[in-house]
């Protein structure tokens, strides 16, 4: 499991688990450290994808199904043990949804909450009409990333390091650009769904996510652009919100 999941703080007595999925080109560290910050009631598992961190020598996944299959094969026993929620930002929102979709349809296992950030619903017009960018030259790809604020600020400050991240960024973008998902005729889930986004990011069709659940649906907007969640003030609000909802979901689960 350690190959696929990063857990800084194992909490066997936690009431719930939070499974976090990286943004395009991202690693697991940002979310794994949440395990040191959140209360002892929540255990954080951050997904590690091939082609980065300790899996740097492995080839990148080429499609969403590969991500879904690996994550579920490793995590399914844990997900049946106690309540769990999913959190994903941008590319991670799509992988969170794809994993939740498969868990429900194939294994009849459902999260107690799905937290989705910085992304339109996969079947929304906004997302479908988005031009493909993963085949651009590195130079043009970089210009586009910078123009939309889709680059972590710490990478922008170091262009040489940023070039090292481009293969992972492009590989993940290729996965999401080729991920197809039709809108379900009825809600897939009954759990609450919360969407987060930065007010200065390019507009996302967050409202379209409402169709995936018959449960509560909430949108929360924050000051900032695509990586608004890296702001310490925003992060604290998000983590407090997640903790509150996971601790109360334990009551519903029982």
Q: Which two tokens stand for residue 177?
A: 């650009």
Give the model confidence (pLDDT) of 96-136 as tens digits: 999 999 999 999 999 999 999 999 999 999 999 988 999 99
- Whether the pLDDT of residue 218 is over 80: the answer is yes
For position 156, what pLDDT does the model report?
A: 72
Strand 42-47 and strand 5-6: pairing? antiparallel
Cα–Cα distance, 51 to 61 (Å, whole number): 8
Cα–Cα distance, 17 to 12 (Å, whole number): 10
pLDDT band at 194 (very low <50, low <70, confident <90, very high): very high
Cα–Cα distance, 220 to 208 (Å, whole number): 14
Cα–Cα distance, 34 to 44 (Å, whole number): 7
Q: Quick check: 139 and 218 in contact, CB under 8 A?
A: no
DSSP 227: T
Q: Quick check: 11 and 243 in contact, CB under 8 A?
A: no
Distance of CA 168 to the CA centre of its chain: 16
190 is a catalytic site residue: no
90 is a catalytic site residue: yes
Contacts of 154 (CB under 8 A, 6+ apart): none
Share of the chain above pLDDT 90, in %: 80
Question: For residue 108, how many other CB atoms are within 10 A of its CB?
Answer: 7
- Whether the pLDDT of residue 252 is over 60: the answer is no
For position 142, what pLDDT does the model report?
A: 81
For position 254, what pLDDT does the model report?
A: 46
For position 250, what pLDDT does the model report?
A: 58
Strand 84-89 and strand 42-47: pairing? unpaired
Tell me what the pLDDT averaged over the chain comes to: 92
Contacts of 125 (CB under 8 A, 6+ apart): 205
Give the model confidence (pLDDT) of 55-104 as tens digits: 999 999 999 999 999 999 999 999 999 999 999 999 999 999 999 999 99
pLDDT band at 248 (very low <50, low <70, confident <90, very high): confident
Buried b (16+ CB within 10 A) or exposed e, 92-104: bbbbbbbbbbbbb
Among the listed residues 90, 96, 117, 249, the single catalytic one is 90
Among the listed residues 113, 174, 204, 226, the single catalytic one is 226
Summarize the confidence of residues 31-38 as an average pLDDT.
95
Cα–Cα distance, 196 to 220 (Å, whole number): 5
pLDDT band at 155 (very low <50, low <70, confident <90, very high): confident
- Which of 16-20, 24-28, 132-136, 156-160 holds the top average pLDDT? 16-20
- Whether the pLDDT of residue 162 is over 60: the answer is yes
Q: What CA–CA distances, in Å, run from 217 to 112, 172, 195, 238?
A: 13, 27, 8, 16
Summarize the confidence of residues 137-156 as an average pLDDT.
78
Phi, psi at 101, each rounded to 5°: -60, -50
Q: Quick check: 175 and 25 in contact, CB under 8 A?
A: no
Cα–Cα distance, 146 to 132 (Å, whole number): 16
């Amino acid at each position: 499991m350690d190959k696929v999941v990063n857990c800084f703080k194992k909490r066997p007595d936690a009431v719930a688990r939070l499974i976090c999925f990286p943004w395009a080109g991202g690693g697991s560290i940002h979310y794994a450290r949440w395990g040191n910050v959140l209360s002892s009631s929540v255990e954080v598992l951050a997904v590690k994808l091939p082609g980065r961190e300790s899996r740097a020598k492995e080839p990148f996944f080429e499609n969403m199904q590969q991500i879904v299959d690996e994550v579920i094969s490793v995590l399914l026993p844990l997900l049946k043990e106690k309540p769990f929620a999913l959190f994903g930002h941008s590319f991670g929102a799509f992988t969170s949804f794809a994993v939740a979709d498969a868990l429900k349809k194939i294994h009849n296992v459902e999260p107690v909450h799905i937290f989705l950030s910085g992304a339109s619903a996969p079947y929304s017009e906004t997302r479908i009409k988005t031009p493909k960018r993963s085949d651009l030259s590195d130079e043009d790809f970089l210009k586009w990333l910078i123009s939309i604020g889709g680059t972590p600020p710490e990478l922008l400050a170091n262009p040489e390091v940023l070039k090292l991240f481009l293969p992972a960024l492009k590989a993940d973008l290729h996965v999401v650009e080729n991920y197809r998902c039709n809108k379900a005729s009825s809600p897939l889930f009954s759990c609450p769904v919360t969407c987060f986004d930065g007010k200065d990011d390019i507009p996302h069709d967050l409202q379209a996510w409402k169709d995936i659940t018959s449960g509560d649906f909430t949108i929360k907007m924050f000051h900032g652009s695509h990586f608004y969640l890296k702001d310490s003030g925003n992060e604290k609000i998000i983590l407090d919100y997640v903790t509150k909802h996971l601790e109360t979901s334990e009551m519903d689960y029982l």
